[in-house]
Amino acid sequence: MTKLSVNINKIATIRNARGGNMPNVVQCALDCERFGAEGITVHPRPDGRHIRKEDVLALKPLLTTEFNIEGNPKEQFNNLVLQVLPAQVTLVPDAEDAITSNAGWNTIKHKEFLKKTCKMFQEAGIRVSIFVDPDIEMIKHAADCLCNRVELYTEAYAREYAANREKAIEPYFKAAEQAQKCGLGLNAGHDLNLQNLSYFRQTIPWLLEVSIGHALICDALYLGLENTIGAYKRQLI
């Protein structure tokens, strides 16, 4: 079964809007695990607008599932990851002022940088995933960077799903096949939700992990966190 990693950034966004510690980000992460999530994802950004360094440090000794830290591998981010030593780091090329991640890496242009970065984290015992668009060439060159996995950026799939799900999934299936040929593990994330997740998983059954935050937290407003995590897990069977 594909693992569900819950991105808890939006929980931190709610907390930061008011100050204080409500909702309690660490407790929410532990509850996600208790309700069945197989991983917790955070994406700290330099401006600290949601997850903060102190959150990441507080989470590490308490989590019992896989901890995935994603972000742009600049010095501040790298230092935090090497201090925390999560199970996985996901390299995302987002600008500091980006509202959310909006593109995968150009693994040709940035190959030497990514190769060096992958080696640095792997030597510390951290699995490395590179965030990529569903582009066969980008995946081939991601393999040259010596990463362990790629994470497919699924915004286009989610956007086009309602109009024609077969057409929407086609480039992702081809990209997933290429990752498999290259010996890379496969993750996916961005705008996956209860409407489009099951079809993605059924079409690409060797998918190892999905990272879902915004849609899951929105659904939890109506269904409750425990019921929502259960509903997402059922889409991954």
Q: Closest Cα to residue 161, out of 193, 134, 206?
A: 193
Residue pair 233/36 in contact by the 8 Å Cβ criterion: yes
Given the residues 50, 141, 151, 190, select the one marked as catalytic. 190
Rounding to the nearest 10 degrees, give the CA dihedral for residues 41, 124, 59, 61: 140
Q: Closest Cα to residue 32, out of 224, 236, 199, 176?
A: 224
Given the residues 70, 141, 151, 209, select the one marked as catalytic. 70
Given the residues 43, 141, 151, 209, select the one marked as catalytic. 43
- Cα separation, 179 vs 174, in Å, equals 9
Q: Among this protein's residues, is 190 annotated catalytic?
A: yes
Q: Closest Cα to residue 119, out of 86, 83, 89, 139?
A: 89
Amino acid sitting at position 158: A
Q: Among this protein's residues, is 33 annotated catalytic?
A: no
Give the Å distances, CA to CA, from 25 to 8, 40, 59, 99, 121.
7, 11, 9, 20, 26
Q: Among this protein's residues, is 70 annotated catalytic?
A: yes
Give the Å distances, CA to CA, from 139 to 155, 176, 218.
17, 9, 31
- Cα separation, 210 vs 192, in Å, equals 8
Q: Which residues are catalytic?
A: 43, 70, 190
